[in-house]
Amino acid sequence: KQEVTQIPAALSVPEGENLVLNCSFTDSAIYNLQWFRQDPGKGLTSLLLIQSSQREQTSGRLNASLDKSSGRSTLYIAASQPGDSATYLCAVSSDTGNQFYFGTGTSLTVIP
């Protein structure tokens, strides 16, 4: 069964720093990988989706990369802001695209 790991579990950085969140998965037979943001007590907001044939996706200050063969993805956040404070989750889909497996998330705190 697919297992997804996110490191670190928690991260605290001063405002303005660039940072990298890591996600690894055990089965490389995935359809896509999706990064989400979750604010306390709220649902998940989709940030970026990378299809298995892609290497990276960018949206504003966010850049996500995917190395499917090694089972790794990173989420790069440039010039972090206090509003970026949240839990970031990565999820990989099965090769059929119908099932999704989540990591336990990285809790990010950006200090003003």
Is 71 a binding residue for other proteins by CB under 8 A? The answer is no
Q: Count the neighbouring beta carbons within 10 Å of the beta carbon of residue 37.
A: 19
Is 49 a binding residue for other proteins by CB under 8 A? The answer is yes
Yes or no: say if 61 and 76 are a contact pair by the CB < 8 Å rule: no
Question: Which window, 20-28, 67-75, 77-85, 91-99, contacts other proteins (CB under 8 A)?
Answer: 91-99
Distance of alpha carbon 71 from alpha carbon 27, whole angstroms = 7
Contact residue for other proteins among 91, 92, 108, 110 (CB under 8 A) = 91
Contact residue for other proteins among 58, 97, 109, 111 (CB under 8 A) = 97
Question: Which window, 10-18, 19-27, 75-83, 99-107, contacts other proteins (CB under 8 A)?
Answer: 99-107
**Sign (positive/negative) of CA torsion 53, 55, 59, 63?**
positive
Is 109 a binding residue for other proteins by CB under 8 A? The answer is no
Is 11 a binding residue for other proteins by CB under 8 A? The answer is no
Is 47 a binding residue for other proteins by CB under 8 A? The answer is no
